Structure 1
Amino acid sequence: MKILPLVPAFLTTVAAVQPQGIIEIEWSSNCGYASKVTNPAIPAANPTVIETPKIASAQAGIPNPVATDAPVADSYPPISSAGSTTKNEQVPDPGVYSPHPSPSAPVYSQQEQKSELKTGTASVYGNVKSGEITYYSVGMGACGQNSSGQDETGSIVSISGDVYDAAMIDLNTNNNPLCGRTITMKGSNGKTAQGTILDRCEGCRGGDIDVSHKIFIEIYGSLDPGRSEIEWWYS
């Protein structure tokens, strides 16, 4: 056995001594090996575990909601129950965009609707109407007034059935709102005259009118033209 080489190594041995005894002897690396001797009376020390600090959860930073007494406004108006809505009531859908409503079609009264004539050449309450004018012998008119004998003295007008019938409000022709209404007539020569609607002209159409002798002469000077163009409007 080779003992001499071990002597220097033994001299460099470090012994750690505690009251409990020798707990560990470390041999120098020159010896070629190391050995540990443990006192059986001393329990083995547990290895120290270094705890990794825990990262706080992201949810920990979110504060809990705090209850307040302030009322919370709804995003949309409450929808009425089925029993409180009317038959034609519609509840708007807040999620659907509603474009601006287009203008509704104008609503006309029954009398205004009647003013549109079958021929389309005149209307009851239009501005200026045009047609032909002639004269006739006046008598019992559709408005219920007897004008017999007033050919040369009365300013009497008989309008076409198209215009007269369009203004009817019932089956009684005497109740026509055009009866007794004054119109102004302008002849093709530029002269004008006024007359009162008292009759309905069966053979006239659109803006055509029949007038008493008096009116025809006022415009044309005599009865010779017989028939001519005319414009007229309500006075």
Structure 2
Amino acid sequence: QRGEATWYKAGLGACGFVSKDTDMIGALNAPDFDPATPNGNPNKNSLCKRQIKVYNDKNQSINIQVADKCPECKKGDIDLSSAAFQKLFSLDKGRMPIKWEWV
């Protein structure tokens, strides 16, 4: 998929566990996340803890774990922890194009 990466302050995510800014995690956009949420309980979403390989525009990649949902993100977008974002981009960029795939 293609979309944009942003970064956020980690914490208690929709998947029901606490993450730190140093963790290689991300919040998946709602259009991709929500269909896998059973009975409206995001803690039981089957995409939680799944691995995603995220590529920047230089084809460098990182693996992240789905820890949260990004309600305001468009389909294809992923909100990354600051540590994950920094592996691909400078934090001052804020929003950058990515491509990604499930591992």
TM category (shorter chain) comes to: over 0.9
Question: Does 1:145 pair with 2:17?
Answer: yes
Question: Does 1:160 pair with 2:32?
Answer: no
Give 1:169's aligned residue.
38
Structure 2: runs of 5 or more not aligned: none
Shift of residue 171, structure 1, vs aligned partner: 2.1
Give 1:210's aligned residue.
79
Shift of residue 193, structure 1, vs aligned partner: 0.6
Larger RCO (CA under 8 A, 6+ residues apart): 2
Q: What are the superposed Cα offsets for residues 178-210 of structure 1, whole Å, 9 maximum, x if unpaired?
A: 001000000112211110001000110100110
Question: Does 1:196 pair with 2:65?
Answer: yes
Shift of residue 166, structure 1, vs aligned partner: 1.3
Q: What are the superposed Cα offsets for residues 133-169 of structure 1, whole Å, 9 maximum, x if unpaired?
A: 011101110000012xx21x20011001111111122
Give 1:229's aligned residue.
97
SS at 2:91's partner residue? coil
Measure the CA separation in 2 of the matches of 1:229 and 1:171: 30
Q: What are the superposed Cα offsets for residues 16-41 of structure 1, whole Å, 9 maximum, x if unpaired?
A: xxxxxxxxxxxxxxxxxxxxxxxxxx
Question: Does 1:136 pair with 2:8?
Answer: yes
TM-score by length of 2: 0.95
Runs of 4+ in 1 over 3 A off after TM superposition: none
Structure 1: runs of 5 or more not aligned: 1-128
Number of positions where the alignment pairs a residue of Structure 1 with one of Structure 2: 103
Measure the CA separation in 2 of the matches of 1:228 and 1:182: 20
Measure the CA separation in 2 of the matches of 1:217 and 1:171: 32
Q: How does 1:38-53 map to 2 (within 5 A)?
A: none
Give RMSD over aligned pairs: 0.9
SS at 2:5's partner residue? strand
| Counterpart residue type for residue 60 of structure 2 | K
Determine which structure has more spread, i.e. the larger CA radius of gyration. Answer: 1
